[in-house]
Amino acid sequence: MKRTIFYVSDGTGITSETIGNSLLTQFEGIDFRHVRLPFVDSEEKALAAVTRIRAIAETEALRAIVINTVVDAHLCEVLAGCGGLMVDVFAAFLGPLEAELGVKRGGRINKAHQVDSKGYENRIDATNFALSHDDGVDVDYKDADLILVGVSRSGKTPTCLYMALQFGVKAANYPLTPEDLELSDLPKRLKPHQQKLFGLTIDPVRLQHIRVERRANSRYSSMEQCRFEVAKAEALFRDHRIPNLNTTRTSIEEIASKVMLALGLDKHLY
C-alpha cells in the first residue's frame, strides 16, 4: 500500500514532520510518500496547498493524509477544503492548555522556530567547538561538556554535531586508535577528564561494512581488525566504568538523548 502524507505548516514544517513521522512508525507495510508544505501563512498559500493536495489525491484515487501545524483558525478552515484526513496537531492540545492555564493562545505564526539570539549563539559556539575538537584534532578539553570516546566510525562525529546544533552542548570526541587499545589503559589526554567521558561501541559486522565503504581491502576495514578494536574498546569502558552505548541500531537523536541523560546534561534541552 502507498499513501501520500502532507506536512502543512505556517513555519518550517519541522514540527509537523517530526510528529507525523513518529505517528507513522506505528504502521508497518505501508510505503509513505512524504511531502512538506512549509510557510503556508496566507490564504493564497493555503488555497495553493489545497489545490496541490487535491490533485495528488485524485491521481492516486485515495484521499490525502494531512499533518497540520498551522495556528491560524481561518487558514485551517481553508485547508480543510482539501478533502483529506486532517490531523490538526495543535488543536488536540491548545484547547485543554487554554482551559488549564486560563490564557488564550497567542496565534503567532512560526513562534516555535523564532531565533533566540543567546540560544542561537550558544549553538554556533558549540558547533565550532565540535568541529575543532573532532577526532582528537584539539585535545584541550577543559571547556568540553562531554567527550565521546570510541573506535573510528562508531558515530562520534555526527552525534557531537547533532548535540551542538540542537542543544548547544560542547561535545568533543576522541578516536581510540589501535595503539591506544594495545595499552589497555585510558589515553593520558583523557585521564584528567574521565567524568566527562561517554563510550560509543558498535557491532563489528556493521563497523566493517562502514569501513569498507571508506577504505576497502585494507587492514582498517578487515573483520579481524574490527572485532579486535571493538572488543578492546568495550573492555576499556568496563575497566574504567565509562558509561557506554551500542550505536548499531540507534539513531543519532536517540544516542544524543541517552548520552546527555547519562551525563546529567539535560539542562541543555530547554
**pLDDT tens-digit readout, 199-236:** 999 999 999 999 999 999 999 999 999 999 999 999 99
Q: Which class for 219: exposed (0-12), middle (13-18), buried (19 or more C-beta within 10 A)?
A: exposed
Q: How far apart are CA 33 and CA 73, in angstroms?
A: 27
pLDDT class of 51 with cuts at 50, 70, 90: very high
Mean pLDDT throughout 65-94?
A: 91
Q: How far apart are CA 199 and CA 149, in angstroms?
A: 5
pLDDT given at position 114: 53
Q: What is the pTM of this model?
A: 0.73
> Using an 8 Å Cβ cutoff, are 40 and 8 in contact?
yes
pLDDT given at position 98: 86
pLDDT class of 108 with cuts at 50, 70, 90: low
Q: Which cell numbers hold the place of 71? A: 495556528
pLDDT class of 119 with cuts at 50, 70, 90: confident
The per-residue pLDDT of the chain, averaged, comes to 91
> Using an 8 Å Cβ cutoff, are 75 and 53 in contact?
no
Question: If you count them, how many residues does the chain have?
Answer: 270
pLDDT above 60: residue 116: no
**Domains within the chain, CATH numbers bracketed:** 2-113 (3.40.50), 117-269 (3.40.50)
